Amino acid sequence: MNIHEYQGKSILQAHGVQVQEGFVAETAEQAGLIAEELQKKFGTEIFVIKAQIHAGGRGKGGGVKIARSPMETAEVASRMLGMTLVTPQTGPAGKLVRKVLIAQDVYYKGDSDIREFYLSVLLDRKRSAFVVIYSTEGGMDIEEVAANKPKAIFTEVVDSTCCLHEFQMRTIASNLGLQGKAYREMVRFISGLWNAFVSSDASLMEINPLLKTSDDRVLAVDCKVSLDDNALYRHPELAAMRDLNEEDPTEVEASASNLNYVKLDGDVGCMVNGAGLAMATMDLIQLSGGRPANFLDVGGGASAKTVEAGFRIILKDPNVKAILVNIFGGIVRCDRVAAGIIEAYKTIGDIKVPVIVRLQGTNAIEAKELIDTSGLKVIAASTFTDAAEKVREALA
Ligand code: GDP
Ligand code: MN
């Protein structure tokens, strides 16, 4: 699950990590009041208004603006709220801005001693370890740095028997070229960030830019946080940060029906039980000349109801030209799945796309009987190659 910048910053702050101070606003009026508050509390003179959407590159798209008074802050916020922000990461459709973060300017004016770094903690699946990736070249796309200046990117691999060691934090601060107070602040920052990362079961915390101010403070100007969905049950306060507005509506509906659904941009919908079989089925579709329209794992305990919900979700996608149902009955009984398919045909009405069904395993014979006697125009397949062949025919 991804969260907003302002929410990520609140997690960091709870672990003593310094961030650019600010508060979130949903109206222009609130934005103005927050600016007044920052002025009173910190003597802030320059304010930053930042669109809160689940996508980066906001700076480039006009989602980060400066104002010089609370009144101007309110004006800028009023223009930003309700706008559709297009950034290099949103795709051409952009994202509607519903919230803005009002923060204090931390790039003190006329200053030459400011430095922007990049630092992220993430799970490196290839190494089976957490890593800290960091760079002296912050504030820009890390992909760009990787392509043009790969030597400016460093990695510290976290000791999986323990933690990120303090000597590693010192290595990072030193590789970033810091000394004295800034060096100590950086070590403290990384230590707090690591604690925040571990205690929130995050899979990514990316700080870009990580700023060293002119007076040698070290703080997060931006932060991108992804939390591990499977650990959210341990953190109700983090689970509550979910913003459904930022998620694909079909995926939200699927998760409400306990389906693992990921939308893709192909033309063959698929419904499978088990993630491994689902991956193999997507390969199968590709081999038969089609492209998968989705990943859908109905899970081990699929009932007729889940199958019906799965059909509804697949059929919402106008690109779908055929559907392949590939179920291996273990705990799932094939006759239940068949009943779900028949039910879906009845309740959804006219299903126009060809449906290829392969049901094997527990109660496969009963399932076949159910489908044969239902009178539905379902194409039965017995083996993987047979299914691939029938998908190919259906697409022809
Ligand atoms: P992103 O573009 O979505 O990654 O958003 P960021 O939070 O990283 O902000 C983009 C850019 O806006 C940063 O790289 C900074 O250059 C600029 N920016 C952010 N905060 C401030 C600030 O307090 N003052 C000034 N002058 N610029 C800022
Ligand atoms: Mn950024």
Average pLDDT, the chain: 93
DSSP string, 30-68: HHHHHHHHHHHHH---SEEEEE--S-S-HHHHT-EEEES
Considering the domain architecture, whether residues 9 and 141 belong to the same structural domain is answered as yes
Is the per-residue pLDDT at 165 higher than 90? yes
pLDDT band at 248; cut points 50, 70, 90:
confident
Ligand 1 lined by 62 (C-beta under 6 Å): no
CB 90 within 8 A of CB 55: yes
Report, as an integer, the average pLDDT of 162-184. Answer: 97
Considering the domain architecture, whether residues 375 and 319 belong to the same structural domain is answered as yes
CATH code at 374?
3.40.50.261
User: Rounded to whole angstroms, how far apart are CA atoms 183 and 189?
Assistant: 10
CA angle 241, 56, 211 (to 5 degrees): 95
CATH code at 139?
3.30.470.20
Q: Looking at residue 198, what is its pLDDT?
A: 97
pLDDT greater at residue 46 or residue 331: 46
- Cα distances (Å, whole numbers) of residue 92 to 64, 81, 85: 19, 19, 9
Considering the domain architecture, whether residues 300 and 366 belong to the same structural domain is answered as yes
CA of 223 to the centre of ligand 2 (A): 7
Atom of ligand 1 nearest to the CA of 105: 23
Considering the domain architecture, whether residues 134 and 115 belong to the same structural domain is answered as yes
| Total tally of structural domains belonging to the chain | 3
Is the per-residue pLDDT at 96 higher than 70? yes
The tens digit of pLDDT for each residue in 254-296 reads 988 889 999 998 999 999 988 999 999 999 999 889 999 999 9
Considering the domain architecture, whether residues 70 and 29 belong to the same structural domain is answered as yes
Considering the domain architecture, whether residues 269 and 235 belong to the same structural domain is answered as no
Considering the domain architecture, whether residues 223 and 258 belong to the same structural domain is answered as no
Ligand 1 lined by 55 (C-beta under 6 Å): no
Q: Which of 88, 105, 122 finishes a domain?
A: 105
Ligand 1 lined by 48 (C-beta under 6 Å): yes
User: Rounded to whole angstroms, how far apart are CA atoms 170 and 189?
Assistant: 11
Considering the domain architecture, whether residues 68 and 87 belong to the same structural domain is answered as yes
| Residues with Cβ within 8 Å of residue 213, at least 6 apart in sequence | 106, 108, 111, 114, 219
Q: Which of 74, 105, 136 finishes a domain?
A: 105
pLDDT band at 193; cut points 50, 70, 90:
very high
- Cα distances (Å, whole numbers) of residue 317 to 251, 285, 312: 12, 17, 9
* Residues designated as active site: 118, 206
Q: Which of 76, 105, 134 finishes a domain?
A: 105
Which structural domain range is residue 333 located in?
248-395
Q: Looking at residue 118, what is its pLDDT?
A: 97
Report, as an integer, the average pLDDT of 355-371. Answer: 91
- CA atoms within 13 A of residue 316's CA, in its CB half-sphere: 15
| Nearest ligand to the C-alpha atom of residue 108 | 1
Is the per-residue pLDDT at 297 higher than 70? yes
CB 222 within 8 A of CB 210: no
pLDDT greater at residue 15 or residue 376: 15
Protein residue with least CA distance to atom 14, ligand 1: 139
Is the per-residue pLDDT at 34 higher than 80? yes
Q: Which amino acid is at 338?
A: A
Report, as an integer, the average pLDDT of 332-342. Answer: 89
The tens digit of pLDDT for each residue in 303-319 reads 778 888 999 999 999 99
Considering the domain architecture, whether residues 234 and 121 belong to the same structural domain is answered as yes
Considering the domain architecture, whether residues 167 and 310 belong to the same structural domain is answered as no
User: Rounded to whole angstroms, how far apart are CA atoms 394 and 383?
Assistant: 16
CA of 87 to the centre of ligand 2 (A): 12
CA of 227 to the centre of ligand 1 (A): 23
Considering the domain architecture, whether residues 75 and 175 belong to the same structural domain is answered as no
CATH code at 95?
3.30.1490.20
pLDDT band at 251; cut points 50, 70, 90:
confident
Considering the domain architecture, whether residues 72 and 135 belong to the same structural domain is answered as no
